[in-house]
Amino acid sequence: MKCLTHQWQKVRASNITLIIGALLCSANHIALASTQVYSHKNANGTVVFSDAPLVNGQMVRTSYQAQYGRPVARSSCLGLGSEAMNKRAQLLGKTIEAAATAHKIDAKLLKAVAQVESCFDRKAVSKVGAQGVMQLMPATARELGVTDSFNARQNINGGAQYLAQMLKRFKHDHRLALAAYNAGPGAVEKHEGVPPYPETQNYVKKVLVLYSKSLD
């Protein structure tokens, strides 16, 4: 009888552990689902809302981005063959050229960024919420005056403007400018080079390989 009582106590303890675990898991999901909204004023005095706080003039991104870098919209490239990729690129070719000319940057570099970011998918959305061809975060898009990130012309123009800013800021060092486009200029300055984030390091390599091939 004592043996049966002991086994029953073990079963009850096990069930209680499972229930507590389930409650903690649910609490974590609720915490992840809730998104805090921050606000700050930009250089023009306009109040801008974002999903990240402003610290020392830089928006602090999620812990994932801070540890790994910003992921690109990989799902937009799944199952996409070279023919389909070229077709997308051709459809946006003139828009990319115009944006590059307007912001005085190399159209081939801008095109390489667009390909790595979204495979030229104007409807792309990454798992961290970056949108459109150039994968602009909502707060960044607002800072750049982009009102519709799924409008290819607006999005590409905004991406070209931001890339031009990063190139100027890092004295036209392509590696640093691309790293800043992905992880933010604050991260590049903090690490005095390409940040040690897997996403960012792979991103820079991929863009530069495509850019180099386009120059051949």
For 113, the token pair is 């960024």
Q: Is 117 a catalytic residue?
A: yes
Q: Among residues 83, 97, 117, 199, which one is catalytic?
A: 117
Angle at 57 between CA 52 and CA 62, to 5 degrees: 25
DSSP class of 75: G
The alpha carbons of the chain give a radius of gyration, in whole angstroms, of 22
Residue 202: strand, helix, or coil: helix
User: Which CA distances in Å does 102 have to 7, 39, 109, 159, 214?
Assistant: 76, 30, 14, 12, 21
Nearest to 41 by CA among 26, 28, 54: 54
Enzyme catalytic residues: 117
